[in-house]
């Protein structure tokens, strides 16, 4: 539902908010922060500031006040969507009308002065594989004549990840150890990964709950999307190559997944819903439980993803970060609603704060690839960086930063903030 909170001309009295690239008043993403008292608080980003929603709870409806006093977003995202929309509307009024400045201003915190926390207590994490160009590119490295397996265009492929190692942006990336077996080696050996990679993904935060045994119909699945974030599913490609058959990734993925601090809500993203790209001629139509005309017309998002790298040597030389790739989220072969409908098709119960990853989002060319595995063609075509360095995989000291912006003509662009991490040995 597009309303006055999406008006491109809307402005805020908060200094710098109107010109902020990520967090103008049209965004108002939600998150959890620690102002320095070792106490987690629920807040919303506005420009370079955070407004403490718990401190202003009395300004909101009585139904929404208790969740605002908790230390995660789980209780808030268990509320009906209309409750969260009412919260957004009231917050918009408080931050746009100068008359409320004296009330709100004492509860603003500079983002640089606080520590961000994971926004949810994550019960479960599922990583999908819906970026068709990534699936094709990786498939070609292993199966040049048959890159996509027969089920790919029928089933939103996914696997159950490790929720305990999901961390918020800025956490260090400790190089994982595990078993690796080079092609020319007779036996595997245990040691640090030499093929550490990133994966440029979007995260889907689940709102509401379905009972065990009660699938979510595709027509209702969009209502379960509480918001989106950036997600980097760090990957040890050498561990993965040895362990992934027959059950898929294990230690190669479970060591760390990084998410951005802020949850850009489904309500904020309404103007950026676009049609799902049409399937290629000859591709099968999804089975009925995965097909909804409304989802096909507005189930994708006008979001552009990008990733940058800055190595230790680049920092020492004062060089800016180098753009590795950029491309649209619409390169997803399946919509977020289709992911949810399939995830629950067997009766699986998704709960508030569950996290779904889209899988790596790549485009059809090197400039839009979402992982080094693709950019460097499996390690055979090193990427040249400023300052004379080359990369096939990540080295200690490398810092990755993922960014994303929702942008559509007629509406104010909004961002997600960074999703970053620095590799250490």
Q: Point out the residues that are catalytic.
A: 134
The three state secondary structure string of 257-273 is EEECCCEEECCCCHHHE
Q: Residue 45 in contact with residue 27, Cβ under 8 Å?
A: yes
- Fill in the DSSP letter of residue 392: S
Rounded CA-CA distance 343/58 in Å is 38
Rounded CA-CA distance 283/98 in Å is 54
Q: Return the bridge partners of 303, or none.
A: 406
Residue with tokens 């926390």: 117
C-alpha to C-alpha distances, 306 to 22, 199, 217, 405, 418, nearest whole angstrom: 14, 11, 32, 9, 10
Q: Residue 351 in contact with residue 123, Cβ under 8 Å?
A: yes
Structure tokens at 189: 């050996």
Q: Is 212 exposed, middle or buried (0-12, 13-18, 19+ CB in 10 A)?
A: exposed
Q: Residue 394 in contact with residue 379, Cβ under 8 Å?
A: no
Rounded CA-CA distance 358/201 in Å is 6
Side-chain half-sphere CA neighbours of 392 within 13 A: 10
Helices (H) and strands (E) in the chain, counts: 11, 27
Structure tokens at 198: 């990133």
Q: Return the bridge partners of 310, or none.
A: 399
Q: Which of 30, 31, 32, 51 shows the shortest CA–CA distance to 40?
A: 32
Between strands 355-357 and 264-265, the pairing is unpaired
């Amino acid at each position: 539902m597009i309303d006055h909170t999406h008006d491109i001309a809307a402005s805020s009295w908060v200094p710098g908010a109107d010109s902020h690239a990520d967090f103008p008043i049209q965004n108002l993403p939600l998150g959890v922060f620690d102002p320095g008292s070792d106490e987690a608080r629920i807040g919303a980003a506005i420009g370079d500031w955070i407004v403490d929603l718990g401190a202003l709870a009395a300004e909101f409806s009585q139904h929404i006040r208790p969740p605002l006093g908790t230390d995660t977003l789980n209780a808030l995202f268990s509320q009906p969507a209309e409750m969260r929309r009412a919260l957004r509307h009231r917050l918009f009024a408080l931050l746009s009308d100068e008359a409320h400045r004296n009330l709100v201003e004492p509860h603003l915190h500079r983002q640089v002065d606080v520590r961000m926390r994971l926004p949810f207590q994550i019960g479960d994490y599922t990583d999908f594989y819906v970026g068709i160009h990534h699936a094709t590119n990786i498939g070609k490295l292993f199966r040049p004549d048959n890159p996509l397996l027969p089920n790919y265009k029928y089933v939103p492929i996914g696997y159950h990840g490790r929720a305990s190692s999901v961390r918020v942006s800025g956490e260090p990336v400790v190089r994982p150890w595990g078993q690796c077996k080079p092609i020319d080696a007779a036996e595997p050996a245990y040691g640090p990964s030499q093929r550490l990679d990133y994966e440029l993904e979007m995260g889907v935060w689940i709102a509401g709950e379905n009972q065990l045994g009660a699938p979510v119909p595709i027509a209702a699945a969009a209502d379960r999307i509480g918001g989106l974030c950036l997600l980097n599913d760090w990957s040890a490609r050498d561990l993965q190559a040895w362990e992934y058959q027959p059950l898929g990734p294990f230690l190669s993925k479970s060591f760390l997944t990084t998410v951005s601090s802020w949850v850009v809500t489904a309500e904020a993203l309404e103007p950026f819903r676009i049609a799902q790209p049409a399937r290629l001629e000859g591709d099968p139509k999804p089975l009925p439980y995965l097909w909804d005309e409304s989802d096909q017309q507005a189930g994708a998002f006008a979001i552009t993803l990008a990733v940058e790298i800055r190595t230790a040597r680049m920092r020492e030389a004062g060089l800016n970060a180098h753009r590795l790739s950029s491309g649209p989220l619409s390169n997803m072969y399946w919509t977020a609603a289709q992911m949810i409908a399939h995830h629950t098709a067997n009766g699986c119960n998704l709960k508030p704060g569950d996290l779904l990853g889209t899988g790596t989002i790549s485009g059809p060319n090197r400039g839009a690839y979402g992982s080094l595995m693709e950019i460097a063609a499996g390690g055979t075509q090193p990427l040249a960086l400023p300052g004379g360095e080359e990369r096939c995989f990540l080295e200690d000291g490398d810092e990755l930063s993922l960014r994303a912006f929702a942008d559509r003509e007629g509406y104010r662009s909004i961002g997600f903030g960074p999703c970053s991490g620095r590799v250490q040995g």
